[in-house]
Amino acid sequence: MTWDRRAAAWAVTAICLAAWPLAANQEWVAPPEERARTSPVPDSPENLQKGRFLYQKNCRRCHGEKGKGDGPSGRYGVKPAEDLTKPAKQAKLTDGEIFWKITTGLRDGADVIMPAYKREIPSDEDRWKVVLFVRTLAPPPSPAP
């Protein structure tokens, strides 16, 4: 590699690294095609029970028993765990986006913000059951007066 090419490669690397914090501070949103996905798993007591079990096994340590983001490991990360009980948060997230986030996780360089659970929960159907359970964490909407 010539000196000019090496200098150009370093310049491109420096620009990318300088821009990384801007990307890291952006909101974590799934791609449109993932947001548009809908759950193939029916809402049933059995599916909800399995989703709850998988949530407790994999998500509770950061998001907490009731999804408030107050799990024992949630406060030690680079970014605190999300409070999944907030109605505004639940309304903003589609089922497809929750599924995508569970599947792919989020990294900021070498830091794991949220682990990807595709290996821990290899079945797509089971990850959809976690989505089903996550939807139960927000309080039901209050009736209109």
Q: What is the pLDDT of residues 67-99, one digit of tens each?
A: 999 999 877 777 889 999 999 999 999 999 999
Architecture label for domain 27-134: Orthogonal Bundle (1.10)
* Residue 119 or 73, more confident: 119
- Between CA 92 and CA 2 the distance in angstroms is 50
Res. 27 pLDDT band, cuts 50 70 90: confident
Instruction: Residue 127: name the closest of 50, 23, 22, 32 by CA.
Output: 50
Res. 140 pLDDT band, cuts 50 70 90: confident
**Number of C-beta neighbours around residue 39 at 10 A:** 19
Query: What's residue 85's pLDDT?
Result: 96
End-to-end CA distance of the chain: 72
* Residue 17 or 98, more confident: 98
* Residue 64 or 14, more confident: 64
Query: What's residue 141's pLDDT?
Result: 74
Structural domain spans, the chain: 27-134
Confirm whether pTM is higher than 0.85.
no
